[in-house]
């Protein structure tokens, strides 16, 4: 076994970031890396240190401290000793410097954010955990300032996280050393990096040992991948905490779609019911969910349940498509990817016309299908669907709508879906019918 806790060489410890854990701080975070636990609290003060006063720019500083029993034996508090150690001083300056690298101090205005990083339990990597947690605490404090309209523009230029890497006595390069590994390590390195993959600081030392350029590259590579994971985690928790605040204030539904046409229809239909609609287009940090299901329901479930689990709130997803009888139900769940993975309405329509070449009008019957899944964490999902009957035309007609609308002729309206006004389509569409079915079941 390579590592005493059976991690692989490039595996982080279990990382948790709990937000808003303190009542009075503008932003607070409890960050955990295995047995290392750091409490980070960000305070906003309407003043700046003397040396920048009157310049209109802000300041960010950090303090770092270990609780007496953060370690195996009790360490006297530095306040009792009456002296801040060199190590503490160095670490708190590193934290402050790192945060200032990604925050535009002029946009902060003449105010300070002070981050207190208190190590509750130390099992290696406390300074890097402090930086990773402090960044989230500062972001939360800034979100608060923006919500209160105290600052207009977000001063956060990039994400920021830190991690340790090192070389074990076995010669193996590893990511995220715990204390046991750290004391034995031949080489010990702390990396601070941004979301765009740039370095803020590299602290690397051979402990009575040396390391090669090749080993350095491996360490940087492991560190970079660890930091990417940490930043994805930061994005996730920040998004959840932001959504919890906004959804408390407003009636808002999150729809797990990136399709602009759908988004517009949902917004119009839900507006009548007093809801605002947000989609994945509003949250670019949320992942793309692969549609690996074999039915509309499976795909809609995948989209809704994956995103609901991440945002820890209710999420609606739509999986829809065109079912053409002469094509034995195709394109069906593959409607968006009918002409290939690069999703283009024009290419899909061209392919549909091509496949139907020579098929007589009365044999060109089709229907739009929509399955909606409403998912909430730890609840059974609601599943509803709706359909709209039509036939496939031979030339595109109409400018409205999206997808296959200009080829989808609706006999009852004597128009294609693209010739209907937005309102008309939203009254009769498969999507509208599904939403109507949902309404009866959805208590909110
Ligand atoms: O009212 C409609 N009018 C025209 N075309 C429509 C409609 N409703 C679905 N369709 C077509 C478009 C797309 O080719 C496929 C949906 O595929 P589907 O995977 O559900 O959506 P998508 O990938 O575009 O967005 P997302 O998965 O992010 O919701 O069916
Ligand atoms: Mg899709």
pLDDT tens for 18-76 read 999 999 999 999 999 999 999 999 999 999 999 999 998 999 999 999 999 999 999 99
Omega within 30 of 0 (cis) for the link into 163 = no
- pLDDT cut 90: percent of the chain above it: 85
Q: Which atom of ligand 1 is nearest to the CA of 319?
A: 20
CB-count burial class (<10 Å; 0-12, 13-18, 19+) for 229: middle
**Is 4 annotated as ligand-binding?**
no
Strands in 256-314 per DSSP E? 276-279
Residue nearest to ligand 1 atom 24, measured at CA: 259
pLDDT confidence band for 312 (50 / 70 / 90): confident
| Paired residues of 190 in beta bridges | 164, 203
Task: List, for residues 128-140, the tens digit of each pLDDT value.
Answer: 999 999 999 999 9
Q: What angle do CA 209, 215, 221 make, to 5 degrees?
A: 135
Contact 338, 349 (CB under 8 A): no
Q: CA 123, CA 181: separation in Å to the nearest integer? A: 10
pLDDT confidence band for 1 (50 / 70 / 90): low
176: annotated active-site residue: no
* Binding site membership of 223 for ligand 1 (Cβ less than 6 Å): no
Cα torsion through 250, 245, 114, 126, rounded to 10 = -160
Q: Which of 349-363, 400-414, 428-442 has the lowest mean pLDDT?
A: 428-442
For the cut 60, the answer to whether the pLDDT of residue 98 exceeds it is yes
Task: List, for residues 102-124, the tens digit of each pLDDT value.
Answer: 999 999 999 999 999 999 999 99
* Exposure b/e, 366-388, CB count within 10 A at least 16 = b: bbbbbbbbbbbeeeebbbbbbbb
What's the CATH fold of domain 15-248? Ribosomal Protein S5; domain 2 (3.30.230)
Q: Which atom of ligand 1 is nearest to the CA of 280?
A: 28
- For ligand 1, the distance from its centroid to the CA atom of residue 319, given in whole angstroms, is 7
Task: List, for residues 159-200, the tens digit of each pLDDT value.
Answer: 999 999 999 999 999 999 999 999 999 999 999 999 999 999
pLDDT confidence band for 275 (50 / 70 / 90): confident
- Mutation test of ligand 1: which of 262, 305, 306 has the most ligand atoms closer than 8 Å to its C-beta? 262
* Binding site membership of 405 for ligand 1 (Cβ less than 6 Å): yes
**Is 290 annotated as ligand-binding?**
yes
Task: List, for residues 350-364, the tens digit of each pLDDT value.
Answer: 999 999 999 999 999
Q: Which residue, 197, 196, 229, is CA-closest to 10?
A: 229
Q: CA 117, CA 114: separation in Å to the nearest integer? A: 10
Q: In this predicted structure, what is the pLDDT of residue 379? A: 87
* Binding site membership of 367 for ligand 1 (Cβ less than 6 Å): no
Q: In this predicted structure, what is the pLDDT of residue 2? A: 79
Q: CA 102, CA 108: separation in Å to the nearest integer? A: 12
* Binding site membership of 406 for ligand 1 (Cβ less than 6 Å): no
Q: In this predicted structure, what is the pLDDT of residue 377? A: 86
Query: Of 123, 176, 188, 319, which one is the catalytic site residue?
Result: 319
Average of per-residue pLDDT across 78-85: 94
- pLDDT cut 70: percent of the chain above it: 97
Q: Which residue, 296, 310, 307, 313, is CA-closest to 258?
A: 307
Q: In this predicted structure, what is the pLDDT of residue 314? A: 86
Tell me if domain 15-248 and domain 250-441 are identical in fold. Answer: no
For the cut 80, the answer to whether the pLDDT of residue 80 exceeds it is yes
Tokens 């407003």, located at residue: 250
What CATH number should be reported for the domain whose range is 250-441?
A: 3.90.950.10
Residue nearest to ligand 1 atom 22, measured at CA: 259
Average of per-residue pLDDT across 213-238: 97
Give the ipTM of the model, two decimals please.
Answer: 0.90
Which parts of 153-295 fold into alpha helices (H)? 179-184, 213-249, 260-271
Question: What's 46's DSSP letter?
Answer: S
Q: CA 20, CA 188: separation in Å to the nearest integer? A: 32
Contact 320, 335 (CB under 8 A): yes
Mean pLDDT for the chain overall:
94
Q: CA 410, CA 416: separation in Å to the nearest integer? A: 6
Q: What angle do CA 170, 172, 174 make, to 5 degrees?
A: 130
Q: In this predicted structure, what is the pLDDT of residue 313? A: 82
Token pair, residue 39, equals 């409490």
**Is 262 annotated as ligand-binding?**
yes
**Is 159 annotated as ligand-binding?**
no
Distances from the Cα of 280 to the Cα of 235, 285, 289, 430, angstroms: 14, 8, 11, 21
Token pair, residue 232, equals 């994805």
For the cut 80, the answer to whether the pLDDT of residue 441 exceeds it is no
Q: Which atom of ligand 1 is nearest to the CA of 345?
A: 14
pLDDT confidence band for 443 (50 / 70 / 90): low
Q: CA 353, CA 109: separation in Å to the nearest integer? A: 59
For the cut 70, the answer to whether the pLDDT of residue 293 exceeds it is yes
Residue ranges of domains in the chain: 15-248, 250-441
Torsion sign across C-alpha atoms 350, 265, 284, 104: positive
* Binding site membership of 404 for ligand 1 (Cβ less than 6 Å): yes
Residue nearest to ligand 1 atom 25, measured at CA: 259
pLDDT confidence band for 99 (50 / 70 / 90): very high
């Amino acid at each position: 076994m390579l590592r005493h806790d059976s991690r692989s060489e490039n595996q982080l410890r279990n990382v948790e970031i709990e937000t808003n854990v303190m009542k009075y701080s503008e932003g607070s975070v409890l960050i955990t890396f295995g047995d290392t636990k750091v409490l980070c609290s960000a305070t906003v003060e309407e003043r700046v240190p003397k040396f920048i006063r009157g310049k209109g720019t802000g300041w960010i500083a950090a303090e770092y401290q270990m609780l007496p029993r953060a370690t195996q034996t009790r360490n006297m508090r530095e306040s009792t000793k009456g002296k801040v150690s060199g190590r503490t001083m160095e670490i708190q300056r590193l934290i402050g410097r790192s945060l200032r690298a990604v925050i535009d101090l002029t946009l902060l205005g003449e105010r300070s954010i002070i981050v207190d990083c208190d190590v509750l339990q130390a099992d290696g990597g406390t300074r890097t955990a402090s930086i990773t947690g402090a960044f989230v605490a500062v972001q939360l404090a800034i979100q608060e300032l923006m919500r209160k309209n105290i600052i207009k523009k977000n001063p956060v230029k990039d994400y920021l996280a830190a991690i340790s890497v090192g070389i074990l006595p076995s010669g193996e390069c590893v990511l995220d050393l715990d204390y046991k590994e750290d004391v034995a390590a031949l080489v010990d390195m702390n990396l601070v990096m941004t979301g765009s993959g740039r370095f803020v600081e590299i602290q690397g030392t051979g402990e009575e040992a040396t390391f090669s350029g090749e080993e350095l590259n491996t360490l940087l590579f492991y560190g970079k991948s660890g930091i990417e994971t940490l930043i994805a985690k930061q994005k996730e928790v920040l998004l959840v905490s932001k959504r919890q605040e906004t959804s408390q204030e407003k009636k808002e539904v999150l729809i797990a779609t990136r399709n602009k046409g759908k988004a517009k229809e949902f917004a119009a239909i839900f507006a009548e019911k007093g809801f605002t609609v947000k989609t994945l287009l509003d949250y670019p940090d949320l992942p793309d969910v692969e549609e690996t299901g074999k039915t509309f329901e499976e795909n809609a479930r995948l989209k809704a349940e994956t995103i609901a689990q991440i945002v820890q709130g209710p999420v609606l997803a739509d999986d829809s498509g065109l079912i053409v009888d002469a094509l034995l139900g195709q394109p069906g769940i593959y409607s968006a990817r009918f002409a290939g993975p690069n999703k283009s309405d024009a290419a899909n329509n061209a392919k549909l016309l091509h496949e139907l070449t020579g098929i007589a009008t009365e044999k060109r019957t089709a229907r739009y299908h929509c399955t909606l899944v409403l998912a909430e964490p730890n609840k059974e999902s609601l599943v509803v669907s709706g359909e709209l009957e039509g036939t496939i035309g031979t030339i595109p007609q109409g400018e409205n709508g999206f997808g296959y609308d200009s080829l989808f002729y609706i006999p009852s309206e004597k128009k294609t879906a693209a010739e209907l006004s937005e309102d008309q389509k939203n009254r009769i569409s498969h999507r509208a019918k599904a939403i109507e079915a949902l309404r009866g079941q959805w208590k909110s």
